[in-house]
C-alpha cells in the first residue's frame, strides 16, 4: 500500500488493515472464503472504492461459475449478501440456487434446458413444445401459452390432456352441424386440422358411404344437399357409387335441354358430363361412333349440339347445312359426275364420313 505506515495482511479468516497510531482500523468486509483473495484483483492503491474495472478476479476459474450473458453485468452485491462472498450458500451446479422454479417441478429442473443467460424470456417455445405429446402447428402457433394453460399462474404449465376434445368440447357440442345428434366421434383430427377449424374439413366419405367419392363439385357442396340433417339419412337412398349419377340427377336428366329422354340418351351421365361442371358436357363417343367433332376439321367449329341436331327429341336427325349453307345449284353442278349424288345431309355424311372435302 501507499506509505511506509500501511500494511496489508490477507488470511482466510479475514483481513485487517493496519494504520498509523490513532487511525481507525478497517475490517475485512468479505468474510471467510475457501480461497485466498488478492486485494489487487479488485482494488487499487489509489483508492479502496470504487473497485477497478474490469476486475482481475477470474470468477469462472476461482469459483467454477462462468458469468455469461446478463450475469456479467451484475454487481457483486446482486448475488452476495453484504459483500460476504460465502453468503448466501450458493451452488454452481444449477440455476435453482438463485432462481425460484416458477414451474413448480412440472418442467425440467435444469433451467438452461429452456433458458439462456442473455434473456430469461427468450425461450424457444415451439421447439420445446415439439418434445411434448402435442407439437404446436397451425393456429396453435398463433395463440398465447395462457390460452391453453388458463389455470397456470406465473408459468406453472401443468401437463394438459393433448386430446383435442379436452379443449374443444364446447365447439364440438355447439357446432352448427350437430355433432352430438349425429354421433360424430370426439377424435376431432378425423375431420379437422389445426390450420382452420371450419375450413378444409376432411371426412372419410368413401368409407362411411361404401364407396362414394366426393369428387369435383361434390366436395364443395354442403352435406345438407345430399343428406337430411341431423341424422344424415340420404336424400337419394340406394346410391353408393360416385358413377351412379342418375341416382341423384334423375330430375336433371328428365328436364335437360336438349331432351335426353326423347333423344334416347343413356343414363350413364359420365359419358358426357364431369363432376366439376354439369354444363360442360362432352360426348366423346361421338367421334369414333358417328362423326369427328372433337377432332379434325370440325374441332372448335361448333358451340352446341343443336347446330347440327335441329330436332331436340331425335338426335339421329342432323343437318350439315347450318354451317355449310351451299347453293344447291352449285353443289349439283359440282357433283354431276358423282353417281347417286343427292343434295341431302345424310348423303353428305356417306361421302364425307371424316368431314374432309375429298
Mean pLDDT per block of 10 residues along the chain (358 residues) reads 31 36 61 84 86 87 88 87 80 77 81 87 88 91 88 82 92 86 84 81 82 88 84 85 90 86 83 85 85 89 85 83 81 86 89 82
The range of the structural domain enclosing residue 157 comes to 95-161
| Per-residue pLDDT, 196 | 81
Alpha-carbon separation of residue 89 from 79, 98, 289, 323 (angstroms): 10, 10, 98, 104
Instruction: Report yes or no on 2 lying in a domain.
Output: no
Kind and range of the H or E run holding 228:
strand 227-228
Do both 232 and 193 map to the same domain? no
Do both 347 and 317 map to the same domain? yes
Instruction: Report yes or no on 322 lying in a domain.
Output: yes
Do both 22 and 88 map to the same domain? yes
Is the pTM higher than 0.85? The answer reads: no
| Per-residue pLDDT, 13 | 33
| Per-residue pLDDT, 339 | 84
| Per-residue pLDDT, 329 | 87
Do both 79 and 144 map to the same domain? no
Q: Report residue 85 as a C-alpha cell.
A: 462472498
| Per-residue pLDDT, 140 | 92
Of 267, 282, 297, which closes a domain? Answer: 282
Cβ contacts of 86 within 8 Å, gap of 6 or more: 31, 32, 33, 34
Do both 37 and 85 map to the same domain? yes
Of 236, 251, 282, which closes a domain? Answer: 282
Instruction: Report yes or no on 296 lying in a domain.
Output: yes
Query: Cβ(287)–Cβ(294) under 8 Å?
Result: yes
| Per-residue pLDDT, 155 | 81
Instruction: Report yes or no on 120 lying in a domain.
Output: yes
Instruction: Report yes or no on 15 lying in a domain.
Output: yes
* CA atoms of 36 and 223, how far apart (whole Å): 82
Instruction: Report yes or no on 256 lying in a domain.
Output: yes
Do both 189 and 258 map to the same domain? no
Do both 217 and 265 map to the same domain? yes
Do both 18 and 76 map to the same domain? yes
Q: Report residue 55 as a C-alpha cell.
A: 476486475
219-223, long-range: CB < 8 A, 24+ apart? 223/177
Instruction: Report yes or no on 1 lying in a domain.
Output: no
* CA atoms of 243 and 212, how far apart (whole Å): 8
The b/e string for 105-131 (b: 16+ C-beta within 10 A; e otherwise) is eebeeebeebbebeeeeeeeeeeebee
Of 71, 92, 113, which closes a domain? Answer: 92
The b/e string for 37-73 (b: 16+ C-beta within 10 A; e otherwise) is bebeebbeeeeeeeeeeeeeeeeeeebeeeeeeeeee
Q: How many helices (H) and strands (E) does the chain have?
A: 10, 5
Do both 11 and 88 map to the same domain? yes
Do both 71 and 28 map to the same domain? yes
Query: Cβ(112)–Cβ(99) under 8 Å?
Result: no
Residue position matching grid coordinates 479475514: 14
| Per-residue pLDDT, 16 | 38
Instruction: Report yes or no on 222 lying in a domain.
Output: yes
Q: 3-class DSSP state for residue 15?
A: strand
| Per-residue pLDDT, 169 | 94
Domains held by the chain: number: 5
Counting Cα atoms < 13 Å in the Cβ hemisphere of 192 gives: 21
Q: Residue 269 burial by CB count (10 A; 0-12/13-18/19+): exposed, middle or buried?
A: buried
Q: 3-class DSSP state for residue 18?
A: strand
| Per-residue pLDDT, 8 | 31
Residue position matching grid coordinates 477497478: 52
Strand 26-27 versus strand 14-18 pairing type: antiparallel
Do both 16 and 67 map to the same domain? yes
Q: What are phi and psi of 58, to 5 degrees?
A: -90, 95
Do both 157 and 220 map to the same domain? no
Amino acid at each position: 500500500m501507499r506509505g511506509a505506515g500501511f500494511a496489508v495482511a490477507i488470511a482466510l479468516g479475514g483481513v485487517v488493515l493496519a494504520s498509523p497510531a490513532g487511525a481507525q482500523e478497517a475490517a475485512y468486509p468479505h468474510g471467510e472464503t475457501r480461497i485466498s483473495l488478492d486485494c489487487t484483483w479488485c482494488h487499487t492503491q489509489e483508492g479502496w472504492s470504487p473497485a477497478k474495472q474490469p476486475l482481475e478476479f477470474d470468477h469462472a476459474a476461482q469459483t467454477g461459475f462462468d458469468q455469461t450473458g446478463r450475469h456479467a453485468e451484475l454487481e457483486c452485491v446482486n448475488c452476495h449478501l453484504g459483500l460476504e462472498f460465502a453468503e448466501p450458500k450458493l451452488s454452481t451446479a444449477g440455476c435453482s440456487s438463485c432462481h425460484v422454479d416458477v414451474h413448480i417441478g412440472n418442467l425440467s429442473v435444469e433451467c438452461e434446458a429452456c433458458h439462456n443467460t442473455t434473456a430469461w424470456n427468450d425461450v424457444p417455445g415451439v421447439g420445446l413444445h415439439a418434445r411434448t405429446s402435442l407439437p404446436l402447428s397451425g393456429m396453435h402457433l398463433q395463440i398465447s401459452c395462457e390460452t391453453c394453460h388458463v389455470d397456470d399462474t406465473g408459468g406453472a404449465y401443468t401437463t394438459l390432456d393433448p386430446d383435442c376434445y379436452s379443449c374443444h368440447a364446447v365447439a364440438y357440442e355447439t357446432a352448427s352441424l350437430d355433432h352430438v345428434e349425429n354421433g360424430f366421434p370426439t377424435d376431432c383430427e378425423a375431420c379437422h386440422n389445426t390450420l382452420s377449424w371450419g375450413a378444409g374439413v376432411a371426412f372419410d366419405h368413401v368409407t362411411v358411404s361404401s364407396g362414394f367419392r366426393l369428387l369435383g363439385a361434390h366436395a364443395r357442396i354442403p352435406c345438407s344437399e345430399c343428406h337430411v340433417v341431423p341424422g344424415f339419412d340420404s336424400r337419394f337412398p340406394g346410391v353408393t357409387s360416385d358413377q351412379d349419377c342418375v341416382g341423384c340427377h334423375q330430375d336433371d336428366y328428365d328436364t335437360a335441354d336438349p331432351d335426353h329422354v326423347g333423344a334416347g340418351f343413356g343414363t350413364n351421365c359420365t359419358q358426357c358430363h364431369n363432376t366439376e361442371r354439369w354444363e360442360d358436357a362432352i360426348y366423346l363417343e361421338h367421334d369414333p361412333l358417328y362423326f369427328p367433332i372433337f377432332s379434325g376439321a370440325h374441332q372448335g367449329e361448333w358451340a352446341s349440339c343443336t347446330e347440327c341436331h335441329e330436332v331436340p327429341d331425335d338426335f339421329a336427325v342432323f343437318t350439315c347445312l347450318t354451317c355449310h349453307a351451299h347453293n344447291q345449284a352449285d353443289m349439283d353442278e359440282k357433283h354431276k359426275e358423282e353417281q347417286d349424288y343427292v343434295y341431302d345431309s345424310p348423303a353428305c355424311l356417306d361421302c364425307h364420313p371424316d368431314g374432309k372435302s375429298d
